[in-house]
Chain A
Amino acid sequence: MTTSRRDFLSAAVTAAGAALTPELHHTHDHEHQAVPSDLALRVKALESLLVEKGLVDRAALDTLIDAYEHKIGPRNGAHVVARAWADPAYKQRLLTNADAAIAELGYGGMQGEHMVVVENTPKVHNMIVCTLCSCYPWPVLGLPPVWYKSAPYRSRSVIDPRGVLRAFGLDLPADVAVRVWDRTAGWRYLVLPERPAGTAQLGEEQLAALVTRDSMVGVGKVAPPQVGVSA
């Protein structure tokens, strides 16, 4: 046991500066990703060492993981968006003091300590990127998807935002101004997408069900409800 753990961590030291594993292949079927099991074992060995030294508490690790794997995700943001669509006064508060308005619905915290909400309109399209790392508004969107953290999205969004949007299936006309928010500081941004047509009769919960993660990052629009599909 000790021997095997030694092997794993020796290799882990190498990981800091040298080649270890083939790049993850972010294919459309992630089941086939070449995730190195030895990396998993190295992480496990490090965790054991840190636990043994009393530096980390496994229960606290589990609390963190459970929160971001199961509880905090884009449904929170969808709730915020739906409320803003349904309640003009709330929308006003959201656009002028996002922290307080988001806290009204019970959201806030790590990587969303300072929030700004930017509104999409028929003439303005906002999108969010973090070119330098992977800043993302966790309390309202959860942790970012792989593409958001990837070099293609980070490199291209600022120089060719319209091309990026086309890659996401959104071809914006020339009379729409694109605003790209590159997250360099402590502020985290959420896009308030346009409310789709045909939703006048919908309640807040039904509206929230329409709102996608991509629309709140600004790489998509919210599609109108599908005709003939009952809620």
Chain B
Amino acid sequence: MNGVHDMGGMHGMGPIQKEKNELALHENWEWRVFALRRAMGAWGKWNIDVTRHEVELVPPAEYLRMGYSERQFAAFLVLLPKRGFITPEELEAGKPAPGYHVATPALTVEKAATLIAKGVPANRDVPVAPRFQAGQRVRARNINPVGHTRLPRYARGKLGVIHRDHGVFVFPDTNAHFLGEKPQHVYSVRFGSRELWGQQAAPQDSIYLDLWDDYLDSA
């Protein structure tokens, strides 16, 4: 979707502010949100693309006003009832509905340790032929889906060169909408900065994006 999250190249966002003590998360509640999202993710009722898209659906003014953790929390609160974990009434009341079923947590301490150590790989060991090879010229497609995509607006319609074939990975545009993994090759694609931004960019500079087969045409 052409949302405010797709902000590469936008102006007016203000200066980059470094902090004296650069903690990743400052407040305890942010850590709880961080962990709760992983613990609920362990149920397998969504995937990383679903959660990313839910964050993208936070209304733009809210998205920009909120800090990172608040944004994640807002999306999480939408996702939980959507996937049937809690009812809107339970969320409203702050307590389980009468006669509720007590589940057994999906994420145990042991499984949390495994999650930290192994992660959730997005590659797929399936035989899918690559459409492109290193050195080949490609043009990023000019697509404007209302759903999730990982092709930033600033690269659409632009010419690049395949730098490297990363292998076969889950395709976010379908996976985010529970439409299947549609595994396909992902490539590191090099775009000259001037191709993306015009003469104001330094001619020797470049931007590399990891892009799926479905985002590219040969050029």
Contacts and interface: CB of A to CB of B under 8 A. Distances in A.
Interface of A: 2, 5-10, 12-13, 15-21, 23-24, 26-30, 33, 35, 39-40, 42-50, 52-57, 59-65, 67-69, 72, 108-114, 116, 129, 131-134, 142-147, 149-159, 161-162, 164, 167-168, 174-187, 213
21 contacts: A2-B95, A13-B77, A23-B65, A30-B23, A53-B101, A53-B102, A54-B101, A55-B106, A57-B39, A63-B116, A69-B25, A113-B118, A131-B152, A132-B8, A133-B5, A146-B67, A155-B10, A182-B208, A185-B150, A186-B186, A187-B210
Contacts of B90: 49, 53
A184 B209 contact: yes
Contacts of B206: 177-180
A44 B154 CA distance: 39
Given A53-B96, A64-B38, A145-B23, A180 B208 contact: yes
Contacts of A29: 19-20
B29 A23 contact: no
Interface of B: 5-11, 13-29, 31-36, 38-40, 43, 52, 55, 58-59, 62, 64-68, 70, 73-75, 77-78, 85-86, 88, 90-96, 100-109, 111-113, 115-123, 150-152, 154, 166, 169-170, 186, 188, 193, 196-197, 201-202, 204-212
Contacts, number: 334
A179 B206 CA distance: 5
Nearest 7 A/B pairs, CB to CB: A131-B8, A143-B24, A185-B210, A5-B94, A186-B122, A57-B105, A110-B119
A4 to B, nearest CB: 8
A13 B152 CA distance: 30
B64 to A, nearest CB: 6
Nearest to A69: B31
Contacts of A18: 62
A111 B70 CA distance: 20
B11 to A, nearest CB: 7
Contacts of A47: 32, 36
Nearest to A124: B204
Contacts of A60: 35, 39, 105, 107-109, 111-112
A114 B15 contact: no
B39 A64 contact: yes
B205 A6 contact: no
B65 A152 contact: no
B164 to A, nearest CB: 8
Nearest to A24: B67
A156 B13 contact: yes
A155 B4 CA distance: 10
A151 B7 contact: yes
A53 B103 contact: yes
Of B25, B35, B115, chain A has the most CB atoms within 10 Å of the CB of B35
Contacts of A151: 7, 10, 13-14, 64
B167 to A, nearest CB: 9
A110 B116 contact: yes
Given A9-B92, A110-B117, A129-B8, 5 more contacts: A28-B17, A116-B188, A180-B207, A184-B210, A185-B122
A15 B122 contact: no
